[in-house]
Structure 1
Amino acid sequence: MDGEISIRYKVDLERMLLDGSAEPTYLWLSLLEDITDCFSDDQQIGSGGFAVVYKGIVGERMVAVKKLSQTLDMHENKFHKEVECLMKAKHKNIVRFLGYCSDTQGRIANYEGKFVMADLRNWLLCFEYVPNGSLDKYITDSSGGLEWGERYQIIKGICEGLLHLHEKHILHLDLKPEDIWLLNSTEGKSHLPRTYTVLAL
Structure 2
Amino acid sequence: MEHHNITPQSDLEGILFDESAEPKALPLSLLEHITSGFSRGEEIGNGGFATVYKGMLDNGMVAVKKLFGTVDLDEKKFSEEIRCLMKAKHKNIVRFLGYCADTQGEMVDCGGKLVLADVRQRLLCFEYLPKGSLDKHITDASCGLEWRERYQIINGICDGLYYLHQKHIVHLDLKPGNILLDNNMIPKISDFGLSRCFDENQTRTIASKVIGTMGYLAPEFCSVRQITVKSDIYSLGTIIIEIITGEKGYADVANVRQAIHSNIKA
TM-score by length of 1: 0.90
Partner in structure 2 of residue 91 of structure 1: 90
Match of 2:50 in 1: 51
Q: In the TM superposition, what is the alpha-carbon distance from 1:110 to its structure 2 partner?
A: 2.6
Counterpart for residue 197 of structure 1: 189
- TM-aligned CA distance change 1:11 to 1:145, over 3 Å: same
Of stretches 108-117 and 138-147 in structure 1, the one that deviates more from structure 2 is 108-117
- Large movers: runs of 4+ above 3 Å: none
Which has the higher mean CA deviation after the structures are superposed, 117-126 or 161-170?
161-170
Q: Deviations over 1:124-179 (max 9, x none)?
A: 00000000111112111121111111111100000111111111111111111111
Contact 2:81 2:192 in 1 (8 A): no
| Matching residue's letter, 1:172 | H
Give the share of equivalent positions with the same residue, in percent. Answer: 61
- How many residue pairs get aligned? The number is 190
In structure 2, distance between residues paired with 1:70 and 1:37: 18
Unmatched segments (≥5 aa) in structure 2? 194-266
Query: Match for residue 135 of structure 2?
Result: 136
SS at match of 1:102: strand
Give the Cα separation in 1 of the matches to 2:62 and 2:126.
6
Could you say what secondary structure the match of 2:169 adopts? coil
Distance 1:118 1:66, change over 3 A: same
Hey, what's the Cα distance between the residues in 2 that align with 1:23 and 1:124? 17
More helix per residue: 1 or 2? 2
Q: Give the TM-score normalised by the residue count of structure 2.
A: 0.68
8 Å Cα contact 1:130-1:181 kept in structure 2: yes
Match of 1:65 in 2: 64
Query: Counterpart of 1:98 in structure 2: which amino acid?
Result: L
What is the root-mean-square deviation in Å for CA atoms of aligned residues? Answer: 1.6
Match of 1:170 in 2: 169
Question: What amino acid is aligned across from residue 190 of structure 2 in structure 1?
Answer: V
Amino acid at match of 2:52: V
Q: SS of the counterpart of 1:32?
A: helix
